[in-house]
Amino acid sequence: MDVHGTVAPGFEAVRDVFAGIVAHARGGAAFSVVRRGETVVELWGGLADPDAGTPWERNTLCVLFSGTKGVVAAVVAALDVLDPEAPVRAYWPEFTAEATVGQVLSHTAGLPFVDAEHDLLDTAVCAAMLARQSPLWTPGSRVAYHPLTYGYLVAELLRRTTGRGAGALVREVLARPHDLDLHLGTPPELDARVARLVRAPDYRISTFLDDPERRRIVERMYAGLLDSDELVNSARYRRAELAAASATGTALSMATLYDLLAAGHVAQQAALARASRTWSEGVDALNDRPLRFGLGFELADPIGTYGPAEVAFGHSGAGGGRHGAWPQAQLGFSFVTNELRAEDTDTRAATLLATLYDAL
């Protein structure tokens, strides 16, 4: 399959690695790097719809899954209306757990799943359920990834402080001012541009986890979201404003967003510094995966999620997506793909980031 796009002089090795990824793909992908406002890598290739044989185009949108969390973290930093030290109850009186805003944003609140039958796409109902729910541990005492509940909680905090939904805030704070092809609650007129998601035969979640009892908890956390291709490819999923999982965007727009963040053009310096410092770290209490979080952003961790750079922030996405900034190199990057692979066998983003680092 052909690779399209351009690279700046000195980044040819990145194109070679990307070409190898596309050559062995069932689906498609895109990889972009923006440095100080200049696009130095913009590549795409493969199939946006493997079943129909539709090629990936320059403007193909891809579901970002948890890359959405980084987008919403950028909104939180840009608005700077939530005090991370304040109790959630200060903004949301019905919330019963003794958790702070910072604990919600750094995945230590102890509310990793909705403990009742629910529609995972009904964000208002899920938020109301979580407000009444007792945490699994004392908030702040353990770190464990909150794959969907992060979105319900943060979106409700934003609604309480701004009166706006998460999708509107992504549009008004990020997409429109910075001309980003980025959407939370993707409108129908863009459906034809969205890549169809496919799972590799061995795709699975929580690849660090062996304990069967905690595996059952993890299954509750994901609520069946990644069990089949049907839901994640549905219009209903794309329309939902899941502030943890359902945004769509292009690699170029995501790389541009992180470049703008690193350059101080989205959030004030103090707010970004606060959001990108360590608020929680350790081995996930449920998933056994090493974690390090800022306020909604993932940070450079012991397993090299963000490549060789010692300082990095961003957010990965289920199946292989990787989006972030290397502040010291003054750049943003994004790898998007519609072919979901298991974390323990997927080397695509890691190889691209290692090659990018060498090219700098």
Give per-residue pLDDT as tens, 35-45: 999 999 999 99
Assign 214 a pLDDT band (cuts: 50, 70, 90): confident
CB 65 within 8 A of CB 318: yes
Average pLDDT over residues 214-222: 85
Helix, strand, coil in percent for the chain, rounding step 5:
35, 20, 45
Considering the entire predicted model, what is its pTM? 0.97
Token match 């913009």: residue? 42
Average pLDDT of the chain, as a whole number = 96
pLDDT of residue 309: 97
pLDDT for the residue numbered 55? 98
Query: What distance in Å separates the CA atoms of residue 185 and residue 242, rounded to the nearest whole number?
Result: 8
Q: What is the pLDDT of residue 166?
A: 98
Q: Tell me phi and psi for residue 276, to 5 degrees.
A: -105, 10
Share of the chain above pLDDT 70, in %: 100
The three-state secondary structure class of 188 is helix
Q: How sure is the predictor about 271, in pLDDT bands with cuts at 50, 70 and 90?
A: very high
pLDDT tens digits for 15-60?
999 999 999 999 999 999 999 999 999 999 999 999 999 999 999 9
Q: Give the mean pLDDT of 287-301.
A: 96
- pLDDT at position 1 is 74
The predicted structure's pLDDT at residue 196? 98
- What is the predicted pLDDT for the residue at 228? 78
Rounded Cα–Cα distance for residues 247 and 217 (Å): 25
Task: Kindly report which listed range (128-142, 222-236, 292-306, 308-322) carries the lowest average pLDDT score.
Answer: 222-236
pLDDT higher than threshold 90 for residue 284: yes
State the pLDDT confidence band at 223, using cuts at 50, 70 and 90: confident
Residues 3-359, CATH architecture: 3-Layer(aba) Sandwich (3.40)
Which of 193, 336, 197, 190 shows the shortest CA–CA distance to 255?
A: 336
Mean pLDDT of 247-269: 98
> 198 pLDDT exceeds 90?
yes
Question: For residue 218, what pLDDT is reported?
Answer: 82
Q: Is the pLDDT of residue 249 over 80?
A: yes
Question: Given a cut of 90, is residue 255 above it in pLDDT?
Answer: yes
Does the pLDDT of residue 168 top 90, yes or no? yes
pLDDT value for 208: 82
Domain ranges of the chain: 3-359
- 276-311 exposure pattern, b = at least 16 Cβ within 10 A, e = fewer: beebbeeebbbbebebbbbbbbbbbeeeebbbebee
pLDDT in tens, 98-120: 999 999 999 999 999 999 999 99
